[in-house]
Structure formats: C-alpha cells, structure tokens
Amino acid sequence: MGKEVRNVVLVDAVRTPFGKAGSMYSETRADDLLVRVVRELLERNPKLPPSRIDDIAIAATTQTGDQGMTLGRTIGILAGLPHSVPGYAIDRMCAGAMTAVTTTASGIAVGAYDVAIAAGVEHMGRHPMGETFDPNPRFLAEKIVNPDALVMGQTAENLHDRFPHITKERADAYAAASQDKTAKAYANGRIQPDLVPVAVRTAAEGVALATADEPPRPGTTVEGLAGLRTPFRSHGRVTAGNAAGLNDGATGAILAAEEIADELGLNKKLRLVSFAFAGVEPEIMGYGPVPSTEKALAKAGLSIEDMGYIEINEAFAVQVLSFLDYYKIDDDDPRVNPMGGAIAVGHPLASSGIRLMQYLAREFADAPNVRYGLTTMCIGLGMGGSVIWENPNYQGAQSKAA
C-alpha cells in the first residue's frame, strides 16, 4: 500500500563561527563543536521536546579520532539527548551535511521520521583532507581516474583549462566581490544571528569566546589578489585568494514534517521541493553542480529562472563561474550568494551544505516576494549536489512542493 509523501521543512539551522585550520579551534575538539551546535538548536527551539527527535545524522569527511565513532550517536549522548534518540555518521565529502539533510528529509517524507537533526563538522586543523586515506592502487595503476582527481586544487586548474574564457582575472574579481559581500553582510548584522558563540582556549591567548568567522579578509582587492602564487601549477590560475581556505567548523539543522512543525508550533524557514546528486569526470570535480542542478530542476518541474536566490558553495571561483556561464547568469547577479560565500567565510568541508541553507533561509525571511531558491555545491571525486527549496514566507499561490 502506497504512502502519501509529506512536506518537509527546515525548522532552524545554526553554525559555529568558522575558523582557519588549526587556529582558534586548535585546542577544541571537533565533537565538542558539534555538541555546542546541537545544544543551541534545542535551546533556540524550546517547543521541540528532545524525545520527539527520531534520528541524528552527522557528516564528516575524515571520520577518525574526534570525528569518528558514529558521530550521530555519540553527539546525541554528549549533548544530553534521551538515550532513546539514535544516530549515525555519513560521508559524501564536501556535501556531507547536505546529504545528511536530504537523507533525513527523505525519511521524514515517507513517514519513517517526524523530526530529525542533520549536522556536519570538519576540523581540518586536526584532520587534514586525505588523512589516513589509502586509495586503491588500481585508481592510478589502471588509469581508472586521472591523478589530478585526488588534488582538489588541480581539478580547479583543469576546469580553467576546460573553459579558457574563465581567466584568472575574472576569478580574482569574483573572489574580491565575495569578500566585499561578506563584509557588508556582517556590517548589516545578517550573519551573526545564526552563529553559535564557542568558548575556545589557545596557548597564545588563553580562554576566549569565538563569535565571528576568522577567515574573511575585508578590503580585499583584485590588485592584491593578482600577485598571489599559484600553488597547484606554475603560472596557474588558482590561488589562496580565489579559493576557499582550510577551515574548522560545525553546522546543524532541525528537519521536520510540515504537519509536525505546525503541531508543535515550530518555525518553518525552508520547505523542501526536490534534490539531486550527479557525477562528472573526477578530474573536473567543480563542474558537478551543473548536472545535479539540471536533475533537481527537472524533478521539480522548474527552471533556473524560477530561482530567486542561488547559494552555490565557493570551493573555487572557477567552479562558480563555470556554473554561472552554463546558465547564462552574470557574475554579479544579485541572486547569487548575496551574503558572500566560502571564498570569504570558509569551507569546513562536510559542514558547508547546511551553511548554504542557513544563508538561503535568511534571504527568504527578508524577501516574501521570492518563492524558490537553490543550494548547490561541488563534491570531491567528481560529483555535485543540489537542493531546491520553497520560501514558507512566500506571499502567493499554493506551494508546488511535494
């Protein structure tokens, strides 16, 4: 007997300030960052009884040490949730938190869950990308993948090769604009409300409170970016200035069936419409958002023109620009990352998917005339992930969401 698919909403999303790898969080455990996020979600949503949470899915790319041991379950226990609340760990590299959201949302849609927590963490200072990674020798020996596929910066250089009209100058201009938009969003108080202050201890400064992102570089100029070295290729185009850095941070979100959110009196910040993941050649990893967005749009019966906002993860400027070119969107289109992106604020790998959703929710709240939005990102080893959302605040016709 078939079941009716339920609407799924994102109730709330929070994150820690993002730090530079091994800097302000150098003596803070990854799992403690997650505990702070989960506790904040519960404190901000007192109408949600913890016993109503049906599962916790937590993502990390490098699942070892303080990012290992079935994170969903251990964090639930550490955060003080009832022992009846189960949990698990999940990995889809950079799209870990995005996949935690779509996986738990799928369970909610078919009635397996009513409420779930999805989260993500990456402490790249403690666990550099690729730590303990042992790729099957057949990958390279049998030429199953190009060696470039294992070096994310090199995949970005390959994308520049594939699309030579995307010049370094254009990538630098996009990066400087991201820094400027982030600075303005901070000045206007749009980012701070969704940050969780974190008590930190460092040998240099003792005990302090992290209340803002560490990576942004206000005042960045195209001229200043022009002279940066290109570490992945001599005379290349990818630099530390037009790519996201190495970062530490955690994010989390509450997902619920819309009818349950209404029953409990919970917020509704985003309503899920569709999602999709897709693969591309691993050596041009950054192009993944194009096919995944095409799939998500087709499933929703929508077009890119229907998207009032587009939150795309800025792993590399060239990756964003290749997406914009495919859809014939201007580099400075106000729909795209209006609060800036990962080039400025940071990209702690598996946590970033929820950061995109958090930004979109903030934009939706301020724009009841906008109905649909997209969150999308590239994923290591040649994938893309895209989620289409509807604005619950939209002042218009009945929802098209499933």
Residues labelled as active-site residues: 94, 347, 378
389 three-state secondary structure: strand
First to last CA, the chain: 19
| 117: nearest Cα among 44, 179, 177, 170 | 44
Question: Within 10 A of 291 (CB to CB), how many other CB atoms are there?
Answer: 18
Structure tokens at 192: 């701070």
Which residue type sits at 318? V
CB of 386 closer than 8 Å to CB of 289: yes
DSSP-derived secondary structure for 308-377: EEEEE--SBHHHHHHHHHHTT--TT-TTB-TT--HHHH---GGGHHHHHHHHHHHHHHT-TT--EEEEEE
CA–CA gap between residue 391 and residue 372 (Å, rounded): 6
DSSP-derived secondary structure for 220-278: --HHHHHT---TTSTT-S--SSSB---EEEEEEEEEEEHHHHHHHT----EEEEEEEEE
**Residue 141 burial by CB count (10 A; 0-12/13-18/19+): exposed, middle or buried?**
exposed
CA–CA gap between residue 232 and residue 234 (Å, rounded): 7
Residues 59-80 as b or e (16 or more Cβ within 10 Å = b): bbbbbeebbbeebbbbbbeebe
Question: What DSSP character marks residue 308?
Answer: E
